[in-house]
């Protein structure tokens, strides 16, 4: 199939690589000439294991190319996937200016196209957004009618950063929300070869499924963290408790996310919790659990800060800055927030994160690092041994496997604070876990 992908960030770049590797002709579109240049050189604009190899294969085979020309991309494809960002506003609602802009451009390009074309929204949007916001823009700019002259569908992604390619190839399910069956059929053809159930629903149901999944994941993280905090205060290892809770596969569904640890972060969970909570308020629906999730998450960052500062030591090494290992994504990383708290209190802080170090020179996060957190990124050191040697307290911040040995064998004269769960035992001399 001939597919155009708008937005070559974490979702769009992974989709471009995976779809081209499965034989589809893919043209990636982005306003960033830098990203397009990287794609056309077979280089990944983001840190994601295995992605660069897929992009290289796509370029070499001729099945993948990048462009900034929207009209050319629409003309060369029969289905477009919109993968642009939908960040949070200050009030928690979604900012839709990126998707508004791309829909207007796609609509203008559709005006002069006589063949049928389907527009598929992969960006995460609140229920009602496609019907009440996206479709009107497409219809106004194209002069055509959705579902009659062109197709519209929603295809929410369930890709986790650092495991995105595996998640694409082995999804738990494929959700298709369709305005018209023709667009649903096209998407079903794309995903038919994947070993996962295909669920076809209305657009609004599909929009809501994505939020329900992400907010449930955030709820599980929060629940496990609060259980871990209470358990530790009672002299119990919270991990041991939750390991048993997670053995109930009939009622508790899954053990994923159900482990005590540090706060959640990234581009999805915080944004989606805020957005769904905001929408509940608009609808005059009380949602006290959802309303408490971000407060509890923030309290977990404060909890880590309190543990670190309880020791009479000033030199601190923070190992990890991205919100999880295997990615360079710093958006809403709780480790960035923790670093800023330590800087604000005058601690001597050194930071090590090999992926973020890479992103300072290459990739999509370079501008973010330079413009949004220069005071934090200036403390990055590419020499792990040097960072450890200078520190009195070593904070294990994300799950990079190179940090595990420090939790098992504490360097002489150092204090380990484990936010990940590397420690084999509960807190003791020279080491302390956040929930164990």
Question: Residue 74: how many CB atoms within 10 A of its CB?
Answer: 25
Which residues are part of a known binding site for NAD(+)? 10-11, 30, 35, 86, 124, 271, 331
Strands 315-319 and 393-396: parallel
Query: Is 268 tagged catalytic?
Result: yes
- Catalytic residue selected from 83, 103, 246, 268: 268
Contact between 178 and 203 under an 8 Å Cβ cutoff? The reply is yes
Which residues are part of a known binding site for GDP-alpha-D-mannuronate? 161, 210, 214, 217, 225, 256-257, 262, 265, 324
The CA distance from 347 to 133, in Å, is 47
* CB burial readout 166-189, b (16+ within 10 A) else e: ebbeebeebbbbbbbeebbbbbee
CB under 8 Å to 248, separation ≥6 — which residues? Answer: none
Which residues are part of a known binding site? 10-11, 30, 35, 86, 124, 161, 210, 214, 217, 225, 256-257, 262, 265, 271, 324, 331
Positions marked catalytic: 268
């Amino acid at each position: 199939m001939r597919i155009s992908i708008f937005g070559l960030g974490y979702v769009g770049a992974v989709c471009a690589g995976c779809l081209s590797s499965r034989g589809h002709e893919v043209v990636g579109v982005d306003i960033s000439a830098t990203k397009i240049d990287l794609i056309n050189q077979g280089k990944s604009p983001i840190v994601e294991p295995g992605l660069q190899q897929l992009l290289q294969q796509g370029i070499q085979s001729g099945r993948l190319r990048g462009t900034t020309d929207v009209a050319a991309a629409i003309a060369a494809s029969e289905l477009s996937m919109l993968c642009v960002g939908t960040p949070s506003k200050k009030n928690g609602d979604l900012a839709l200016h990126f998707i508004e802009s791309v829909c207007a451009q796609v609509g203008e390009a559709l005006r002069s196209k006589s063949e049928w074309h389907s527009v598929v929204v992969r960006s995460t949007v609140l229920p009602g957004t496609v019907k009440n916001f996206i479709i009107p823009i497409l219809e106004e700019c194209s002069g055509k009618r959705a579902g009659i002259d062109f197709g519209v569908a929603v295809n929410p992604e369930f890709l986790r950063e650092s495991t995105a390619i595996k998640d694409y190839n082995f999804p738990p399910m494929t959700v298709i929300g369709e305005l018209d069956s023709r667009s649903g059929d096209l998407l079903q053809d794309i995903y038919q070869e994947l070993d996962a159930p295909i669920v076809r629903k209305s657009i609004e149901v599909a929009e809501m499924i994505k939020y329900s999944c992400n907010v449930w994941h955030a709820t599980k993280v929060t629940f496990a963290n609060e259980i871990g905090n209470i358990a530790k205060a009672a002299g119990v290892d919270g991990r041991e408790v939750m390991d048993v809770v997670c053995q109930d596969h009939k009622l508790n569904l899954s053990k994923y996310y159900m482990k005590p640890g540090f706060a959640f972060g990234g581009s999805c969970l915080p944004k989606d919790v805020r957005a769904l909570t905001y929408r509940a308020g608009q609808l005059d629906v009380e949602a006290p659990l959802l309303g408490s999730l971000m407060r509890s998450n923030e309290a977990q960052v404060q909890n880590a800060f309190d543990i670190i500062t309880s020791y009479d030591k000033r030199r601190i090494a923070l190992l990890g800055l991205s919100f999880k290992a295997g990615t360079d994504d710093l958006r809403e990383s709780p480790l960035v927030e923790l670093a800023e708290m330590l800087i604000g209190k005058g601690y001597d802080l050194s930071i090590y994160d090999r992926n973020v170090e890479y992103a300072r020179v290459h990739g999509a996060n370079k501008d973010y690092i330079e413009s949004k957190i220069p005071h934090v990124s200036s403390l990055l050191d590419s020499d792990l041994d040097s960072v450890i040697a200078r520190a009195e307290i070593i904070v294990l911040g994300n799950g990079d496997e190179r940090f595990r040995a420090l939790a098992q064998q504490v360097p002489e004269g150092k204090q380990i604070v484990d936010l990940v769960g590397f420690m084999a035992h509960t807190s003791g001399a020279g080491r302390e876990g956040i929930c164990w």
